[in-house]
Amino acid sequence: MEEEFYCILKLVSGEEILSLIMVDNNNNDPIIILQNPVTITSIMSPSGSSYVKVNPWMELTNDDLFFIRFDKVITMTETKDTKLIQLYQYYISSDITEIYKPYGQVNPSSTLGYISSVNEARKKLESIFKNNV
């Protein structure tokens, strides 16, 4: 077996996969071993910002190792893009149920805006309106 490296693969199915891989040259029939493969998609927002969407390659399994034959791969390239590798490592190490929130967005709490109930607010607004009329 060869060394592990981060690689982007384009499969004959059209999928682009980012994974930590090894190549096993067993009996002149090489097999690619994928560890925690993810699909990556580039997305442009209406404001012009560019984002990368990361999803698990196989969503309904708990396995983290997969094997692919070379005839299923169109091309593959080693990536040394540190931001992409950090994104991949963060995604793999984080909890899948963690919800992404845009920068600066927080859930309101009693200290961040909840100052009264709906009924209390209605009474206050009605009294302000009646006093101003």
pLDDT tens digits for range 37-92: 999 888 888 888 888 888 889 888 888 899 999 899 999 999 998 888 988 888 88
The kind and range of the H/E element at 89 are: helix 82-93
CA–CA separation, 25 vs 73, rounded Å? 15
| Predicted TM-score (pTM) of this structure | 0.64
Pick the CATH number of 5-104 from 3.30.420.40, 3.40.50.1220, 3.30.565.10, 2.30.30.100: 2.30.30.100
The structural domains of the chain, with segments of one domain joined by +, span: 5-104
pLDDT tens digits for range 14-36: 989 999 999 888 777 889 999 99
